[in-house]
Amino acid sequence: MNKLEKFAAMKTYENVFEPKIERTFYQEGGGKHVLEDLMARVGERRLCLELGCGRGEYTVALAREDKTTFYVGVDIKGARMYTGATEAIETGVENCAFLRTRIELIDVFFPEESVDEVWITFPDPQMSNARKRLTSTYFMKRYARFLKKGARVHLKTDSNFLFTYTCEMLKANGIEALAKTSDLYGEEEREDLPRSLRTIQTAYEKQWLSRGLTIKYLSFVAPVGADALEEPNVEIELDAYRSYGKTQNSTLKKHA
């Protein structure tokens, strides 16, 4: 199936939300546009987001295992998201959905204090621009607009740069990590780490593993009152296997 056919199929899917208001929000400088249809489907359940979900491996697999929570995969690339949305429909996983949007706009779609948990799976480390890092204080401020108090953020990454940066971001703001490992598969199984770290592998994770890279994980309680957060002021060694120039070509330029 080509991309256009996937996009056409997704228009008929009840588990895909593609709000058309992004331009308006950029122009008018903000405002809430809560997705009432989506929130009605969440109902009384807990709500968990997977940001930069790609094919949505975590969204679908976690939803299958935990019916008390509603999972929403968020990504700008519809053709990737099609894989997870189709799998959820074909295998009867009803407690998940996909939201196609830029994560820069994510806070307009969810009410205050509505989200319990966030997974960020193998995000682009954005080594040249902290403002685009999904674990930066800029994004933490956005997330604070919809997270519940005590909401947990999970980061799973191959990138030593992003892992170190996120640890430094926590340190700069006096936030303790709840759990972390710099080599998930190099260690014995640990009780303080979510079991899903080993049972669910994403498309990017498999690629990085096949290249012999180690997988890192970090979780923490998202800061509330995040307006006072400070960016870390430290030099971090760049990932050698990524082209520094290439990371400047933001994925946002390619909306496929």
Residues that bind ligand SAM (CB under 6 A): 52-54, 75-77, 80, 102-104, 121-124, 202-205, 251-252
CB-CB neighbours of 15 under 10 Å: 24
Question: Is 75 an active-site residue?
Answer: no
Q: Using the minimum distance from each CB to ligand SAM, give the nearer residue, 75 or 239.
A: 75
| 148 backbone dihedrals φ, ψ, rounded to 5° | -75, 160
The CB-of-98 to ligand SAM minimum distance in angstroms stands at 11
The CB-of-43 to ligand SAM minimum distance in angstroms stands at 26
Strands 96-100 and 69-75: parallel
Q: Using the minimum distance from each CB to ligand SAM, give the nearer residue, 57 or 220.
A: 57
Q: Using the minimum distance from each CB to ligand SAM, give the nearer residue, 56 or 232.
A: 56
Q: Of 107, 124, 158, 239, which is the active-site residue? A: 124
Q: Calculate the CA 120 to chain-centre distance.
A: 3
The CB-of-155 to ligand SAM minimum distance in angstroms stands at 11
The CB-of-121 to ligand SAM minimum distance in angstroms stands at 4
Return d(Cα 49, Cα 97) in angstroms, integer: 10
> Edge-to-edge strands of the sheet including 147-157?
16-17, 96-100, 69-75, 46-51, 115-121, 147-157, 216-221, 177-181
Q: Using the minimum distance from each CB to ligand SAM, give the nearer residue, 73 or 232.
A: 73
Return d(Cα 6, Cα 67) in angstroms, integer: 27
**Catalytically active residues, by annotation:** 124
